Structure 1
């Protein structure tokens, strides 16, 4: 009588369940620890001004202009910098809401022409409530010294 050794028949296998558990835990960790802030997308240096922000009744449409003169409507980048491309992007995001307030956030180092182009596109589309985002003016501790 021949007795077989069944240990030789066992095929090695890789168990994927623990690896999938670890990957899911990592995904959950990264999703929970990620901050979703639209200001983190672009680093803008806003111009300084004194004054109080005006209260708004509805969520404004945000148009960002970075230091290089690139436009961002809401969270969408406008690929070209001409008026027609900017108007098309604004119209897609805003739809028919021309009475909606617009918040224009332009970097302090932005070329003046880029800001004027944004104003022109908004004006041609019929937007009349345009606000400019500014940072509060920093007060020096020492008066009269530089």
Structure 2
């Protein structure tokens, strides 16, 4: 079984995209937002466009963290999901201390939803890949 420490030691360059992207997300989250920058309603008209942006941003972060840790086991994917969700909640808490930002439970929920959707997709993909060859396999033939 692979460990997080082994993954980070074996492929340290894999962490760079995740760290850079996490920094970009943080920077975008703490600057004064432009007024009228996003449409009020997102695709399908169900929720605001900003919630879609949150979900997509944290789905991307989840994929990059999974890549950094080469997370192919359910256990490591859970670790990745927890880290990404806690990061999103932490940013919301930082925003609560800023005069031009607020803590928004719906933003935190959108972050977590993006993390969970990406984690589920990654888990299904990792379940369908042969670990040694990286090829798709029929699970019932194993």
Max Rg structure: 1
**TM-score, normalised via structure 1 length:** 0.27
Structure having the higher helix fraction is 2
